[in-house]
Chain A
Amino acid sequence: MIAVQKETRVKVEKIRLSFGGVTVLIDIELEIKDNEIYAIIGPNGSGKTSLLNCISGFYKPQQGAIYYKGKNLVGMRPHKIAGLGIGRTFQNLELFTGLSTLDNLRAARHLFIKSGLFSGALYFGPAHHEEIKHMRVVEEIIDFLEIEPIRNRAVGDLPYGLRKRVELGRALALEPDVLLVDEPMAGMNLEEKEDLTRFLLDIYEGTEFGYDSEFLKKGVKSIVLVEHDMGVVMDIAERITVFDFGRKIAEGTPDEISGDVKVIKAYLGQDI
């Protein structure tokens, strides 16, 4: 079998991030490639979420660059980065709790709706057509994630597991090329973890038929997964990076990582 050289999507070069006197990320270098699920693991406080925040633009590293689609993301506003195709879920679920599931997902279609203030104010005409078109897209996402029963319920009233799915839907509605998923399994029981893992895999693989939307059919081909649950990581990730105290201490396939002495010492310990 010939190993196909995969294209690099996101290139992180020598990122250094400090807050006051505390250095959170030290000389981080990694590449996220096309067609892979790439996991980042490490103890709490090792800088995993901070790296995601740097990539999506919420933190600005003092040194280093992050290249995506030929541009350097460092210094860009988060909404511009989202517009380039990087989608993100948050560990603490950043949703609009007062709005319904449907409205949350429709809000996420922001970048794809062309009509602005004036056609919006007139409503009938282009704005109306776009509302209908994107309603259909949002409904397909709802069907994909099997959340039809809660489409009209305020997100704040939903149980935690369903809110996580809405969060995933919100990120999906951006039609991202790269999806950053921050600790999706936190707080889930076994059945919920299995469900969420299946949805992640469905998002990755795409469905090929059954929907009109291209992005659901094609799937999101690069997923970065920050996670603590070793079972899930070993199961679905193709490459794993290990962080410890802000440094990258190991990178490789699941087999390589589970055998790596440094990693075992730093993190896995007796869990394996």
Chain B
Amino acid sequence: MIAKGKVTVDLEKDRPATLSAYLQRNAQIFGDMVAMRQKDYGVWHEYSWKQCNEMSKHFGLGLLSLGLNRGDKVCLLGDNEVETYWAVYGLYGVGAVVVGIWVDALPDEAVYYLTDSESRFIIVRDQEQVDKMLRVKDKIPLIDKVIWWEPKGMAAPMYKNNPWLIGFNDVLDLGIKYDRENPGAFEECIRQVKPEDIANMYYTAGTTGAAKGVVRSHSTQVFLRKIIDRYYPLVPGDDCHTMVQFASIGEPLTGSTANLISGAVLNFPESPDTTEMDVREIAPHFHCLTPRFYEEIASKMRVRIEASGFLKRTVFNMMLPIGYKIVEYEIENKEIPPLWKFLRWLAWWTAFRPNLDKCGLLKMKYGCNSGFVLGAHTFKFYRAIGVDMREFYASTEVPLIATHWRGHEIKIGSLGQIVSDVELRMSNEGELWIRGPHRFNEYYRKPEKTAAAIDANGWYHSGDAGYIDDEGYVFYIDRVTQLAELNNGNKYSPQAVEAQIRFGAYIKDCWILGEGREYVAGLITIDFDSVSKWAEKYHVPFTTMIDLSQKDQVAELVLKDIKRVNKGLPPWARIKKFAVFHKEFDPDEAELTRSRKLRREYMYSKYKDMADGLYSDEDIIQISAEFSYADGSKDTVTAKVKIRTIPET
């Protein structure tokens, strides 16, 4: 019997200090309310807090009877289902550490995680994962048992008769027996778990050397929830959809802490193929996704609306500008006049609400974007159609640094303002340093790396370059290692700026210069097709690409995009001079790699005159370049490229 009640939780008052204690608290105060839902065999199966507590208890005790000790690490490798969370909560309860591994990890990667974390057990989902483990069994001698929970295919004798493998239900049976013989054991274990005990370990991607295990204790996880709760409060009964695996820091942001501490309900779809349909039935209240997902959903919306009949399309396209106008009011922090309030209401009921209903985003209180900065266009689109979209700055080491505090206080391009309890400062090199109670503890068994990352005063050196403007908004530039340096020591990110400029509809490519110079300059190449069409439309006569590129009107077009990008850059990193190049960058000329990455050294040497010219007082630079035809014959091209200075605003 699942009770449908409304219980309010005062997060300040009923505040245990460890995740395991929260499980107990919830079983008491929420009791028969729904904790988790799993879609199986076409219908949603609901599990109450009491039931989940029982499952977790028996799983934890079962592992104890298999020889697990407090502080042991247990790896988790599988898609999220109810069993995942029962296992995790059981592990929290007996004081073990949960180490998540990505589902698509190769066997050797898995071996690294298992051995580096010194895990004693591993929990996998199904036959495929079990096979993966069996293949590398001799490389992981520390692993006592492999626990699986999806029974399909596991009836074969090779699995049944293998003592290394044990099924989830068998572990539960062991736990039930242990509970009978030692009543109150689980509660005692929970009492013994201290806030400084480690709860989870997350492996960060190893771009420099091997992956590092980020250690987080119960207290850091609990603090994490407390901080998130200020900006994204959830009430008991709110629905979450957690596809994020325990290998990612995204999981405690959206899953286990929301469930344990805020009482939100976790919902699990039936299978990866039915996820879209199931998410619509779940109607989650909170989503934290990456830009790729948001862009996919946005384009799905647009495509389907475009494909609809005249009436539907027209209504939506009429309402969309109303949404954008409201967004403008929000950005400028102005009061919305009554007429627009009415129009917003109209647009919501005729167009935006049914649209969100189709995607399953109808009940979403807040949409968070994490990972990379979401393109301004997409960000505005979501806010226009009624989604409270916010930027989110977090890393595995410090899982919430800045975010948009309130839905309507948005600065496009920024990551929001620093959250409470977090201190953020910029180092002399432009690196962002962060300090906060939810900062990670250490890198597992890597004291030198830990010392390099966390300094004596507790500041975490993030490796990110960014800046904070006077209103406290945080802007992200690039990874520190990717930065280039002007001659006055200021850092800037060529790739980030180039990427931003490339968004422009008329711009094909861009080369940002500035290394060792006084200011940043840019060399832009235009997209001949779109610019020529524009020129035809606006009656700008031209002959060749060279001719077109040097037109002043074309330079004005390009200047618009440069100004757009400059607005989001710190003052020293703004582009001061630019030129529209007379030709496109060509991989055949060795200017780009085959994957279209700029070959900067070569470009500097080939176009030294151009580069120097951008830092001189000249207005026009004559370029002579030799280029080869496809058949090997060579020719020389001369062009006069105009240098343009961007007026100070």
Contact residues in A for B277 (Cβ distance below 8 Å): 149
Contact residues in B for A142 (Cβ distance below 8 Å): 41-42
Given contacts A139-B42, A140-B41, A148 and B151 within 8 Å (CB-CB): no
Q: Is the CB of B274 within 8 A of A148?
A: yes
Name the 6 nearest CB pairs between A and B, nearest first.
A208-B155, A139-B41, A210-B151, A149-B273, A139-B42, A209-B151
The docked-state distance in angstroms from the alpha carbon of A148 to that of B40 is 10
* Per-position 1/0 for B245-282, Cβ under 8 A of A: 00000000000000000000000001101100100000
Give 4 new A-B contacts, CB below 8 A, not counting A209-B151, A210-B151.
A142-B42, A149-B273, A208-B155, A209-B154
Contact residues in B for A146 (Cβ distance below 8 Å): 271
Check: B152 CB closer than 8 A to any chain A CB.
Answer: yes
* Per-position 1/0 for B144-177, Cβ under 8 A of A: 0000000111110000000000000000000000
The docked-state distance in angstroms from the alpha carbon of A207 to that of B41 is 16
Q: Is the CB of A149 within 8 A of B41?
A: no
The docked-state distance in angstroms from the alpha carbon of A208 to that of B157 is 11
* B interface: dominant SS: loop
Contact residues in A for B271 (Cβ distance below 8 Å): 146, 148-149
Q: Is the CB of B274 within 8 A of A210?
A: no
Q: Is the CB of A207 within 8 A of B42?
A: no
Given contacts A136-B41, A139-B41, A151-B42, A207 and B151 within 8 Å (CB-CB): yes
Given contacts A136-B41, A140-B41, A143-B41, A148 and B152 within 8 Å (CB-CB): no
A197 to chain B, nearest CB (A): 15
Minimal Cβ-Cβ distance residue in A for B167:
A209
Interface residues on A, range: 10 to 19
Contact residues in B for A209 (Cβ distance below 8 Å): 151, 154-155
Count A-B pairs with CB separation below 8 Å. Answer: 32
Minimal Cβ-Cβ distance residue in A for B151:
A210
Minimal Cβ-Cβ distance residue in A for B169:
A209
Contact residues in A for B42 (Cβ distance below 8 Å): 135, 139, 142, 148, 151
Contact residues in A for B153 (Cβ distance below 8 Å): 207
The docked-state distance in angstroms from the alpha carbon of A210 to that of B159 is 15
* Per-position 1/0 for B15-59, Cβ under 8 A of A: 000000000000000000000000011110000000000000000
Q: Is the CB of B273 within 8 A of A207?
A: no
- Taking Cβ atoms with an 8 Å cutoff, the residues of A that contact B are 135-136, 139-140, 142-143, 146, 148-149, 151, 206-210
What is the interface size of chain B, counting residues whose CB is below 8 A from a CB of the partner?
14
The docked-state distance in angstroms from the alpha carbon of A151 to that of B152 is 20
Contact residues in B for A148 (Cβ distance below 8 Å): 42, 270-271, 273-274
Partner of A207, one of B40, B152, B274: B152
Partner of A210, one of B43, B152, B270: B152
Q: Is the CB of B155 within 8 A of A149?
A: no
Contact residues in A for B43 (Cβ distance below 8 Å): 139
The docked-state distance in angstroms from the alpha carbon of A182 to that of B154 is 29
B517 to chain A, nearest CB (A): 57
List, sorted by A's number, 8 A–B pairs whose CB atoms are closer than 8 Å: A135-B42, A140-B41, A148-B274, A149-B273, A206-B155, A207-B153, A208-B155, A209-B151
Contact residues in A for B40 (Cβ distance below 8 Å): 143
The docked-state distance in angstroms from the alpha carbon of A208 to that of B273 is 25
The docked-state distance in angstroms from the alpha carbon of A206 to that of B153 is 9
A199 to chain B, nearest CB (A): 12
The docked-state distance in angstroms from the alpha carbon of A143 to that of B274 is 12
B277 to chain A, nearest CB (A): 8
Residue with the highest number of chain A CB atoms closer than 10 Å, among B40, B41, B43, B153: B41
Minimal Cβ-Cβ distance residue in A for B155:
A208
The docked-state distance in angstroms from the alpha carbon of A49 to that of B580 is 74
A272 to chain B, nearest CB (A): 31
The docked-state distance in angstroms from the alpha carbon of A142 to that of B43 is 13
Minimal Cβ-Cβ distance residue in B for A208:
B155
The docked-state distance in angstroms from the alpha carbon of A111 to that of B154 is 31
Minimal Cβ-Cβ distance residue in A for B270:
A148
Contact residues in A for B152 (Cβ distance below 8 Å): 207, 210
A203 to chain B, nearest CB (A): 13
Contact residues in B for A136 (Cβ distance below 8 Å): 41
The docked-state distance in angstroms from the alpha carbon of A77 to that of B545 is 81
B154 to chain A, nearest CB (A): 8
The docked-state distance in angstroms from the alpha carbon of A135 to that of B41 is 9
B223 to chain A, nearest CB (A): 40
The docked-state distance in angstroms from the alpha carbon of A148 to that of B273 is 8
Mark out the residues of chain B between 209 and 258 whose CB falls within 8 Å of any chain A CB in the assembled complex: none
Given contacts A136-B41, A139-B41, A143-B41, A207 and B155 within 8 Å (CB-CB): yes
The docked-state distance in angstroms from the alpha carbon of A259 to that of B248 is 57
A236 to chain B, nearest CB (A): 16
Contact residues in A for B273 (Cβ distance below 8 Å): 148-149
The docked-state distance in angstroms from the alpha carbon of A72 to that of B372 is 72
A24 to chain B, nearest CB (A): 41
Minimal Cβ-Cβ distance residue in B for A209:
B151
Contact residues in A for B154 (Cβ distance below 8 Å): 209
The docked-state distance in angstroms from the alpha carbon of A139 to that of B41 is 5
The docked-state distance in angstroms from the alpha carbon of A52 to that of B151 is 35
Minimal Cβ-Cβ distance residue in A for B277:
A149
The docked-state distance in angstroms from the alpha carbon of A171 to that of B153 is 21
B181 to chain A, nearest CB (A): 26
The docked-state distance in angstroms from the alpha carbon of A142 to that of B271 is 12
A31 to chain B, nearest CB (A): 29
Mark out the residues of chain B between 319 and 352 whose CB falls within 8 Å of any chain A CB in the assembled complex: none
The docked-state distance in angstroms from the alpha carbon of A135 to that of B270 is 17
Contact residues in B for A149 (Cβ distance below 8 Å): 271, 273-274, 277
B127 to chain A, nearest CB (A): 11
The docked-state distance in angstroms from the alpha carbon of A44 to that of B91 is 61
The docked-state distance in angstroms from the alpha carbon of A210 to that of B148 is 13
B507 to chain A, nearest CB (A): 41
Minimal Cβ-Cβ distance residue in B for A102:
B42
Minimal Cβ-Cβ distance residue in B for A140:
B41
B362 to chain A, nearest CB (A): 21
Contact residues in B for A143 (Cβ distance below 8 Å): 40-41
The docked-state distance in angstroms from the alpha carbon of A146 to that of B150 is 14
Contact residues in B for A151 (Cβ distance below 8 Å): 42
A179 to chain B, nearest CB (A): 20
The docked-state distance in angstroms from the alpha carbon of A211 to that of B40 is 12
